[in-house]
Amino acid sequence: MLTNTMATADTASTPLLPEPWHTHLQSALAPDESIEAWLTLDLDDTLRFSDSVLVLTGRQLIACATDGQIAAWPLDAAFELHAHDHAGVGSLTLQNETARQAIWRFTLTQNPAALRFCRRFDQILDALREGREAGPVPAVLCAQCHAPLPPDEDDCPACSGSIDQPPSTWTLFRLWRFAKPYKGQLLIGFLLTLAATGATLVPPYLTMPLMDNVLIPYQNGQQIDTSLVVLYLGGLLASAVVAWGLGWMRTYILALFSERIGADLRTTTYDHLLRQSLEYFGNKRTGDLMARISSETDRICVFLSLHALDFATDVLMIIMTAIILASINPWLALVTLVPLPFIAWLIHLVRDRLRTGFDKTGRVWGEITSVLADTIPGIRVVKAFAQEKRESERFREANRVNLEANDKLNRVWSVFSPTVALLTEVGLLVVWAFGIWQVANNDITVGVLTAFLAYIGRFYGRLDSMSRIVSVTQKAAAGAKRVFDILDHASSVPEPTNPIHLKGVKGQITLANVGFRYGNRAVLRDVDLVIQPGEMVGLVGHSGSGKSTLVNLMCRFYDVSEGAIRIDGVDVRSVPVGEYRKHIGLVLQEPFLFFGTIAENIAYGKPEATRDEIVAAARAAHAHEFILRLPQGYDSLVGERGQGLSGGERQRISIARALLIDPKILILDEATSSVDTETEKEIQKALDNLVRGRTTIAIAHRLSTLRKANRLVVMDRGRIVEEGDHDTLIERGGFYWRLYEAQQRQVEGEALTPSLTPSMPNAHTAGVDAEPTLK
């Protein structure tokens, strides 16, 4: 019976069991018995980290512990294998109708494999019960996450590109990507730097003949040759003027260049940030993100325009000086360069400490801005609860940590510069001593020694400033790392590699086996739902039952963890994100109005809309009249959070916004929850216009809002528990009925004591931004 399954097991669909499990298991397997599936378990019964393996053959389930100990359960038609997970631990339970037979545990790392294992177990048991052979593992499913693969793609849209590589430490060189478009300018800047540096090296060279041909002969009793003096002094002036002109041009060109790199970096980072999924924003602190994009990019820019430029000049100067010195007198040049390796060593020594220090101060700075970003928007709560002192304490604490980090850094830093200065002085001393000895031996003239001293005065001066580059480079590198952290973060809602373009969307939505987890919490499990074009589906359930998550998945704010969502039969992950969202209109519980006029806010999703279109949308949304009552009509400015407008008014503006883009699919996430019953009626009229002819998914806590729905889907704890229209569900007397009854009672209670509960009690929905965050 098993010969056929063996053949399939030999194909690539079942990966070979790795060692040492393979050896351990040899004794437990019959010669013709093949492995159907296997799962690595990384926890033992007491939840300690320990590897073991669970193997499924056509006849038995075998658990093999680390030490090779084997326990086997011959397959029985009554067996069931259940997968559960809680707080990062998954468990597989093997049970029959009377009792639990065994339980195995693993971390969520193994969860996709465990689910796959379960499916295969079910397939084999189904076959066993029906007395037929289990077929091969269905190939259309992704091997990693069990999502069905799109028909003409090899890579699973859910899994591909999910492996991250840590960014390399040579982060600053990655800025080259942004410098590339300005190659020409960079080259001109470099040549100018070269020429300008060369020009500054002329004056010390001229001191040599000035000394040997003018001053020393005069001291020895000769007349001063005026023409020679004029020539040399003229040379000094000319080189200074040339150096000035070249330096000015160079600084200007390179500053322009670095500003442009900074601007490009900032916009690219922001663009990348906007493409991230909501999950990313949920996990990051706003203040930190803002600091990265604003101050870090600025720091990089300053580094490029000032410090990197200076450093390049210094390096050039040192190289050129070394060449000139060597050409005048190789021995003295050698002695002059002796302190250089010491200073290089010192720089190397301090670099690591400084880098970690600056990295840390950057993070601590993010902490400070985070406190601000936290408190300022929540200022009403702070004041209402009289917690100014506590918030001030929090800020003080963040500042203290900042001080501490900086103090530590400065301890290293403060020793560094004076040490470099000391080495410089010692170096000068060595040159003086060696030079005097050489002059005494008549190896060099006094002029040569003077020139050397003039050169190395600059030379060591540059070394000192070069050593400063260490700190700014580390600062910039730390900043660049934090910026590239954003740039390197692949969106968890990735753009498809082979996008499929939707032509004429009908609006059918299919959810197949959809599962979603938020951090280690499974929010949705095995959701299957088909919504026909033009149908209005109401999602009902307690708060936390997964309604909002389901809607967020349909909008592709997140991607499903398991299963697939299809629009007109196409997996949403294979449609470009922007194109897909164009077909979706979203009305949220808390409408967000941007700073701008009302007209701009209505036209947010379609900036090219004509005024007639805007007015028509506002009319249909029942917003036209109240807008006209405002002093500036459609040109009235609304603030950051739409201050000056009531909740109902803001909501109608957001309905108009959704109407204007004329989407095929409409999502109403508690669109009427935050307003009183009177306003709700107004909004309801607006919504009725909006819903017409579109596939609509509406979440509402107030069940009366869903009276127009063709179908109600009742959710509880991440699963669909009931489906049907209002009457059917009431008749069934199940979950929906209980929900409805409870609300009816509340409505009656409210009718009796209207002053106590001015609005309907809303179990708050976990909206987009109210999702629990994993921090």
| Binding to another protein, residues 316-335 (CB under 8 A) | none
The Cα 603–Cα 617 span in angstroms is 9
Identify which of 280, 277, 298, 279 has the alpha carbon closest to the alpha carbon of residue 289: 280
Minimum gap (Å) between residue 98 Cβ and another protein? 6
Looking at residue 706, the DSSP 8-state letter turns out to be G
Check residue 487 for interaction with another protein (CB under 8 A): no
DSSP reduced 3-state for 84: strand
DSSP reduced 3-state for 772: coil
For β-strands 100-107 and 89-95, DSSP reports them as antiparallel
For another protein, the binding residue among 23, 169, 728, 744 (CB under 8 A) is 169
For another protein, the binding residue among 517, 573, 652, 711 (CB under 8 A) is 517
Contact between 710 and 678 under an 8 Å Cβ cutoff? The reply is no
Contact between 677 and 759 under an 8 Å Cβ cutoff? The reply is yes
Selected range binding another protein among 133-141, 515-523, 595-603, 696-704, rule: CB under 8 A:
515-523
Check residue 650 for interaction with another protein (CB under 8 A): no
For another protein, the binding residue among 356, 402, 417, 689 (CB under 8 A) is 356
Beta strands in 670-746 (DSSP E): 695-699, 711-716, 719-724
Residues 477-490: b if buried by 16+ CB within 10 A, e if exposed = bbbbbbbbebbeee
Selected range binding another protein among 162-170, 197-205, 432-440, 655-663, rule: CB under 8 A:
162-170
DSSP reduced 3-state for 93: strand
Nearer to another protein, 26 or 165 (CB): 165
Minimum gap (Å) between residue 476 Cβ and another protein? 15
Contact between 368 and 400 under an 8 Å Cβ cutoff? The reply is no
Residues 669-696: b if buried by 16+ CB within 10 A, e if exposed = bbbbbbbeeebbebbbebbeebbeebbb
Nearer to another protein, 98 or 219 (CB): 98
Check residue 66 for interaction with another protein (CB under 8 A): no
Check residue 774 for interaction with another protein (CB under 8 A): yes
- Phi, psi for 37 (deg, rounded to 5): -160, 155
Selected range binding another protein among 130-138, 164-172, 188-196, 745-753, rule: CB under 8 A:
164-172
Check residue 160 for interaction with another protein (CB under 8 A): no
Check residue 519 for interaction with another protein (CB under 8 A): yes
Backbone region of residue 294 per phi and psi (left: phi > 0; alpha: psi in -120 to 50; beta: other values):
alpha
The Cα 709–Cα 703 span in angstroms is 10
Q: Which helix (H) or strand (E) holds 362?
A: helix 339-375
| Binding to another protein, residues 455-484 (CB under 8 A) | 481
| Binding to another protein, residues 275-304 (CB under 8 A) | 283-285, 288
Contacts of 339 (CB under 8 A, 6+ apart): 423, 424, 426, 427, 430, 460, 463
Contact between 444 and 435 under an 8 Å Cβ cutoff? The reply is yes
- Amino acid letter for position 96: N
Check residue 533 for interaction with another protein (CB under 8 A): no
The Cα 96–Cα 105 span in angstroms is 18
As separate numbers, helices (DSSP H) first and strands (DSSP E) second, the chain gives 26, 19
Check residue 105 for interaction with another protein (CB under 8 A): yes
Site map 221..240 versus another protein, x via CB under 8 A: --------------------
Check residue 164 for interaction with another protein (CB under 8 A): yes
Q: How many CB atoms lie within 10 A of CB 612?
A: 8
Selected range binding another protein among 166-174, 229-237, 613-621, 636-644, rule: CB under 8 A:
166-174
Selected range binding another protein among 356-364, 424-432, 599-607, 678-686, rule: CB under 8 A:
356-364
Minimum gap (Å) between residue 544 Cβ and another protein? 9
For another protein, the binding residue among 3, 26, 46, 223 (CB under 8 A) is 46
Check residue 67 for interaction with another protein (CB under 8 A): no
For another protein, the binding residue among 8, 40, 107, 387 (CB under 8 A) is 107
Q: If you write DSSP's letter for every residue of 542-594 in order, what string do you get?
A: -TTSSHHHHHHHHTTSS--SEEEEEETTEEGGGS-HHHHHTTEEEE-SS----
Identify which of 662, 667, 653, 639 has the alpha carbon closest to the alpha carbon of residue 765: 667
Nearer to another protein, 460 or 518 (CB): 518
Check residue 78 for interaction with another protein (CB under 8 A): no
Selected range binding another protein among 95-103, 222-230, 594-602, 703-711, rule: CB under 8 A:
95-103
DSSP reduced 3-state for 144: coil
Residues 176-185: b if buried by 16+ CB within 10 A, e if exposed = eebbeebeee
Q: How many residues bind another protein (CB under 8 A)?
A: 46
For another protein, the binding residue among 29, 75, 89, 346 (CB under 8 A) is 89
Minimum gap (Å) between residue 99 Cβ and another protein? 3
Check residue 380 for interaction with another protein (CB under 8 A): no
Looking at residue 45, the DSSP 8-state letter turns out to be T
Q: To 5 degrees, how large is the angle CA 530–CA 533–CA 536?
A: 75
Check residue 47 for interaction with another protein (CB under 8 A): yes
Q: How many CB atoms lie within 10 A of CB 523?
A: 24
Nearer to another protein, 106 or 580 (CB): 106
Nearer to another protein, 46 or 223 (CB): 46
Selected range binding another protein among 314-322, 355-363, 461-469, 533-541, rule: CB under 8 A:
355-363
For another protein, the binding residue among 27, 98, 227, 442 (CB under 8 A) is 98
Looking at residue 535, the DSSP 8-state letter turns out to be -
For another protein, the binding residue among 363, 394, 458, 506 (CB under 8 A) is 363
Check residue 547 for interaction with another protein (CB under 8 A): no
Check residue 670 for interaction with another protein (CB under 8 A): no
Check residue 384 for interaction with another protein (CB under 8 A): no
Minimum gap (Å) between residue 309 Cβ and another protein? 27
DSSP reduced 3-state for 75: coil
Check residue 170 for interaction with another protein (CB under 8 A): no
Check residue 369 for interaction with another protein (CB under 8 A): no
Selected range binding another protein among 100-108, 255-263, 322-330, 609-617, rule: CB under 8 A:
100-108
Check residue 99 for interaction with another protein (CB under 8 A): yes
Nearer to another protein, 43 or 623 (CB): 43
Check residue 166 for interaction with another protein (CB under 8 A): yes
Identify which of 572, 570, 525 has the alpha carbon closest to the alpha carbon of residue 550: 525
Check residue 521 for interaction with another protein (CB under 8 A): yes
Check residue 639 for interaction with another protein (CB under 8 A): no
Check residue 42 for interaction with another protein (CB under 8 A): yes
CA dihedral in degrees (627, 630, 636, 641; nearest 10)?
Answer: -80
Check residue 161 for interaction with another protein (CB under 8 A): no
Minimum gap (Å) between residue 373 Cβ and another protein? 13
Chain mean position to CA 66: 38
Residues within the interface to another protein (CB under 8 A): 42-43, 46-50, 86-89, 91, 93, 95, 98-100, 103, 105, 107-109, 111, 164-167, 169, 283-285, 288, 356, 359-360, 363, 481, 485, 517, 519-521, 716-717, 774-775
